[in-house]
Amino acid sequence: MSVISYRQALHDALRSEMLRDEDVFLIGEEIGLFEGSYKITAGMLAEFGPKRVRDTPIAEEGFTGAAIGAAMLGLRPVVEIMTINFSLLALDQIVNHAAKIYGMFGGQARVPLVIRTPGGGGQQLGATHSQNIELYYAFVPGMKVVAPSSPADAKALMLAAIRDDDPVLVLENLALYNTIGEVPDHDEPAEIGKAAITRHGADVTVVAYSRMAAVALQVAEHLEGENIDVEVVDLRSLRPLDRDTIIASVKKTSCAVVLEDDWLTYGIGAEIAATISDGAFDWLDAPVRRVAMAEVPLPYAKSLETAALPSADDAITAIRETLDAVTRRRPI
């Protein structure tokens, strides 16, 4: 094991795969000479050269489309889109081409494409640079979407994404880049579509992903002091979604709280709540609670931005209220 940052784990996974497979190459804005806006690709240009680390113009639709074509012809491109907000400029290429080519052409061509991009607020970047719009891609059949919350998962899921024969969007989070954790020294990929129970508990299930999965662990540790035993399910993958792990956990605890960084309405949490209703309704002792961002474009002012984003305190309140509802419903 090595103790490294989320940022370093991503870098190490990219470098490892480029050393392992000459078909892997990187493409995106300022990833070469500038070494990436968040320095994930630091040192890559010097080591692998401009043929495999391709700087592009500010033209997301163009370089994403070029990467799709390269993938169809047998290469394994890793596209860096500076933030998920800018992926909207390539939405047609991702949704109407990358996700659909394999199905539309009867399996004659695959698109082993990775799109890695950070999202999330809290950095005072304004409403158009702080969005959590992973739902747009998790909604689309033909896409895979993974959302690592720890350095270990950042490495393992990136390895899995690059080796996958389908298009995979790797959702990073700006607030996680500097977080530190233990990462295995081996290059063992994760299983895309498999959630992880990162903390076992008996009283309530908390389902989360990306930054909020890390927050969920902090909340669980805090509530342990109040004798509240929280089980944390880290989704890791948004599409495919590991419904079985979610349902099994809720059947065990009989309560569920869902944490997400995106907006409440039509969000990932709505799908999780529906999954619990379909698969574990008879085991529920209280309604599923959801904690999400305020339904506003994220403000720039720090105080307003902080107020709009979901917090550990919001999660703690939701868990306490859920367990209070259970107590009130149970006969004395």
Residues 26 and 134: their CA atoms lie apart, in Å, by 21
Identify whether 129 is a catalytic site residue.
Answer: yes
User: Within 10 A of 156 (CB to CB), how many other CB atoms are there?
Assistant: 25
Active-site position among 11, 29, 35, 129: 129
User: Within 10 A of 127 (CB to CB), how many other CB atoms are there?
Assistant: 15
Active-site position among 17, 60, 134, 172: 60
The amino acid at residue 271 is E
* Residue with the two structure tokens 């990306």: 210
* Residue with the two structure tokens 């990358």: 98
Identify whether 295 is a catalytic site residue.
Answer: no
* Nearest residue to 202 via CA among 228, 220, 238: 228
Structure tokens of 53? 């680390």
DSSP 87: G
> Residue 181: beta bridge partners?
4
Residues in contact with 139: Cβ distance below 8 Å, sequence separation at least 6, in sequence order? none
Which active-site residues does the annotation give? 60, 129
